[in-house]
Amino acid sequence: MTPLAALPSPTTAVWQLGPVPLRAYALCIVAGIVVACLVTEYRLRRRGVAPGAVLDIAVWAVPTGIIGARIYHVITSPEKYFGTGGDPWKAFAIWEGGLGIWGAVAGGAVGAWIAARQLGIPLTVVADALAPGLPLAQAVGRLGNWFNNELYGGRTSLPWGLEIHRMDPDNPGHALRDDANQPILEPGLYHPTFAYEALWNLGVAGLVFAVDRRFKLGRGRAFALYVMGYTAGRFWIELMRSDEANRILGVRLNVWTAGLVFVGALIYFLRVRGPRQFLIPIEAPAPAVAATGADVSQVDLSRTGKGSPAAVAPVGYQVVDEEQFTTYRETGVRPDEPGADDVPATGDGVAEPAPDDAARTSVTTDRPADAADPSAATTDPSVATGDVPTAGGDGPAATGDRPTVGGDGSAATGDRPTVGGDGSAATGDRSGAGSGPAGAGGRGDRPTDRDS
């Protein structure tokens, strides 16, 4: 086998930027996270989530995901850290490699759940938005294994066989060199199983994109499809790997895990039903947009136009279906609110109040009460209550703080002096004018107008 028929491997996985080491594995992980965030942000916004929400989710999901991934790796490979000759402190050396995807998904799910609750977003909406971005992130992250010369398979004579360097245990991230300062290679060529997994993950991402677009998966089913696709590939790729691993009944632990997780995801995918979920912000302005005529799930309707007010983060979200979401984006009316066509209007275009409201209104709040209607006058002695002065004698009842007609036709406004039936004025907030010989005192803090 000539060198031209083999895939080379890097001899260096870490570079120095002054005192700061730049590790290829960490850079690949960060790049994968960025890819996942970009895809998730795009898909969340098309479902109605406010711009930038993915950053709030990532603040929780990324750290908990990395912690979970490392914990899973250490638990399933304890000999390297706690066995004979192991170094327990190496368990914290994430930059040297060793992250388990199952722990990453579990830990990341916990962080995403915390963030989703704070934002008022259902976790299934977040999971479905993340579904195609996660395998893309995994594909990018697998390049870190290439730099570390790790996670390869058995020997092969195929043209894409991989050269593997012996890494220097005293100088992590660098290949061991001979006396001529040449990197030392392991004998033979090996299956680049990390590359197989990266390519498989790209296919899974494409599958999720296509199926989700065609069938509009919702309620976590897009994420379940990703899990099924990934575990199906991990099952056979894991069988090709030659690195040390814990085994159950002679089979690698991750093979068992992949099979069990696949079955669980399949059951969820088949049992859960329901349309794709969309979100409408609560207590946040959303300008109406023109109908696009396209699939709303493929159109970013969350952008604000030029000259529009700055986006306001909503306090929560209301879950709606696609039809309700489209109507809201086109009209700005939420499903539980009446539209413009639901309110009757007069000939001049002004909406009329409902019949019940009109019946409760005796006069408008912009004009004094009309005393020409004798049907509204009170003939029995009465006392005004509340903040509304009342008319006595032949005066009609007034509403609000508007002028009130007394027994002799004079007007009183608000808390100003009120005229009684004998034409005298009462002053102060606690005095009232008598009407006729008897007169009547005011009660409370409000002026009172009464005829005896």
Q: What is the DSSP string of 255-279?
A: HHHHHHHHHHHHHHHHH---PPPEE
Mean pLDDT taken over the chain? 77
Indicate if 234 and 314 belong to the same structural domain. Answer: no
In the chain, the percentage of residues whose pLDDT exceeds 70 is 66
- Assess whether pLDDT exceeds 50 at residue 102: yes
- Residue 55, domain member (yes or no): yes
Task: Return the pLDDT at 106.
Answer: 94
Q: Is 357 left (phi over 0), alpha (psi -120 to 50) or beta?
A: alpha
Indicate if 21 and 71 belong to the same structural domain. Answer: yes
Indicate if 260 and 288 belong to the same structural domain. Answer: no
- Residue 221, domain member (yes or no): yes
Token pair belonging to 357: 């409201």
- pTM, two decimals, is 0.70
Indicate if 167 and 249 belong to the same structural domain. Answer: yes
Rounded (to 5) percent helix, strand, coil in the chain: 40, 10, 45
> Residues 409, 424: contact at Cβ < 8 Å?
no
DSSP line for 309-336? PPP---SEEEEE-HHHHHHHHHH---TT
> Residues 53, 80: contact at Cβ < 8 Å?
no
Q: Which residues pair with 377 in a beta bridge?
A: 396
Q: What are the two backbone dihedrals, phi and then psi, of residue 115, each rounded to the nearest 5 degrees?
A: -65, -40
- Residue 308, domain member (yes or no): yes
Indicate if 222 and 309 belong to the same structural domain. Answer: no
> Residues 309, 285: contact at Cβ < 8 Å?
yes
β-pairing verdict for 6-7 and 161-162: parallel
Other CB atoms within 10 A of residue 323 CB: 12
DSSP line for 22-88? EEHHHHHHHHHHHHHHHHHHHHHHHTTPPTTHHHHHHHHHHHHHHHHHHHHHHHHSTHHHHSTT--G
Domain boundary among 253, 271, 289: 271
**Cα torsion 29, 32, 38, 39: sign:** negative
- Residue 403, domain member (yes or no): yes
The better pLDDT of the pair 317, 96 is held by 317
Q: What are the two backbone dihedrals, phi and then psi, of residue 55, each rounded to the nearest 5 degrees?
A: -70, -40
Alpha-carbon span 6 to 189, nearest angstrom: 7
Other CB atoms within 10 A of residue 315 CB: 11
Indicate if 59 and 159 belong to the same structural domain. Answer: yes
- Residue 364, domain member (yes or no): no
The better pLDDT of the pair 361, 321 is held by 321
Domain boundary among 222, 240, 271: 271
Indicate if 190 and 313 belong to the same structural domain. Answer: no
pLDDT bin (cut points 50, 70, 90) of residue 368 is: very low
Of 70-79, 253-262, 274-283, 393-402, the one with minimum mean pLDDT is 393-402
Among candidate residues 92, 37, 35, the one with its CA nearest the CA of residue 60: 37
Of 132-141, 167-176, 286-295, the one with minimum mean pLDDT is 286-295
- Assess whether pLDDT exceeds 50 at residue 277: yes
Task: Return the pLDDT at 36.
Answer: 97
Indicate if 304 and 440 belong to the same structural domain. Answer: no
Indicate if 282 and 267 belong to the same structural domain. Answer: no
Indicate if 338 and 428 belong to the same structural domain. Answer: no
- Assess whether pLDDT exceeds 90 at residue 96: no
Of 206-220, 313-327, 345-359, the one with minimum mean pLDDT is 345-359
Alpha-carbon span 387 to 445, nearest angstrom: 9
What is the domain extent for residue 80?
Answer: 3-84+92-175+185-271
Domain boundary among 222, 251, 271: 271
The better pLDDT of the pair 288, 32 is held by 32
- Residue 58, domain member (yes or no): yes
- Residue 189, domain member (yes or no): yes
> Residues 381, 411: contact at Cβ < 8 Å?
no
Q: Which residues pair with 396 in a beta bridge?
A: 377
* Sequence ranges of the binding site: 142
Strand, helix or coil for residue 395? coil
Number of domains in the chain: 3
Token pair belonging to 414: 């608000």
- Residue 361, domain member (yes or no): no
Token pair belonging to 386: 């509340």
- Assess whether pLDDT exceeds 70 at residue 30: yes
Question: For the chain, how big is the Rg over CA atoms in Å?
Answer: 37
Alpha-carbon span 386 to 443, nearest angstrom: 11
Q: Which amino acid is at 238?
A: E
Residues 194-218 pLDDT 10s: 999 999 999 999 999 999 999 999 9
Token pair belonging to 56: 């709030």
Mean pLDDT across 91-102: 81
